[in-house]
C-alpha cells in the first residue's frame, strides 16, 4: 500500500488473496460495534455448549453481555481477522459471506491479512472506563 490511505478510500483498497483481486473498504464504528457483538455471541455459544447447569449458564451469559470486549486482543485471533476482513470485503463485494471470508484465510496468509486489517482500520482503542458518580 504505497498510496496514502486518504487518497484511495473512495475507490477501495486493492488486495490479492489466493490469486484473486478484491477491494477492501474502511470499516467504521458500526463495524466495530458489530464486531463486539459477534465476539460476545461466539462466547455465548461456547457457554451454551459447555455449561450444563441452567443457573450457571444464565449467570455466565449475563456476565458476557455486561462485560467488555478487548478489540485489540480479539483482532489478533483467527475469528477477529476473519470477521473484520468480511466486513471490509462487504463494502465492495456485498455478496461476500462470513464463510467466504473464512475460506480466504489460512496459516500462510493470516499474518499479512491481519496487518492489512490493522492498517485500514487503525489501532482499535478500547473505550475508556466511565467515571463513577459520587
SS3 string, 6-64, reads HHHHHHCEEEEECCEEEEECCCCHHHHHHHHHHHHHHHHHHHHHHCCCHHHHHHHHHHH
Residue pair 101/85 in contact (Cβ under 8 Å)? The answer is yes
pLDDT tens by residue, 9-51: 467 889 999 999 999 999 889 999 999 999 999 999 999 999 9
Radius of gyration over alpha carbons of the chain, in Å?
17
What cell was used for 92?
Answer: 465492495
pLDDT tens by residue, 48-69: 999 999 999 999 999 999 999 9
Residue pair 35/84 in contact (Cβ under 8 Å)? The answer is yes
What pTM was computed for the model?
A: 0.77
Q: What is the pLDDT of residue 38?
A: 96
Predicted confidence (pLDDT) at residue 2 exceeds the cutoff of 90: no
The residues spanned by each domain of the chain are 5-120
Amino acid at each position: 500500500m504505497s498510496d496514502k490511505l486518504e487518497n484511495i478510500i473512495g475507490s477501495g483498497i486493492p488486495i490479492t488473496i489466493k490469486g484473486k483481486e478484491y477491494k477492501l473498504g474502511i470499516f467504521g464504528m458500526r463495524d466495530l460495534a458489530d464486531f463486539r457483538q459477534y465476539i460476545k455471541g461466539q462466547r455465548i455459544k461456547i457457554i451454551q455448549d459447555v455449561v450444563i447447569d441452567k443457573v450457571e449458564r444464565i449467570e455466565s451469559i449475563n456476565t458476557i453481555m455486561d462485560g467488555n470486549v478487548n478489540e485489540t486482543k480479539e483482532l489478533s485471533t483467527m475469528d477477529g481477522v476473519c470477521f473484520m476482513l468480511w466486513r471490509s470485503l462487504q463494502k465492495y463485494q456485498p455478496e461476500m459471506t462470513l464463510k467466504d471470508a473464512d475460506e480466504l484465510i489460512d496459516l500462510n496468509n493470516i499474518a499479512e491479512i491481519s496487518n492489512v486489517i490493522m492498517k485500514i482500520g487503525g489501532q482499535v482503542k478500547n473505550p475508556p472506563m466511565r467515571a463513577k458518580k459520587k
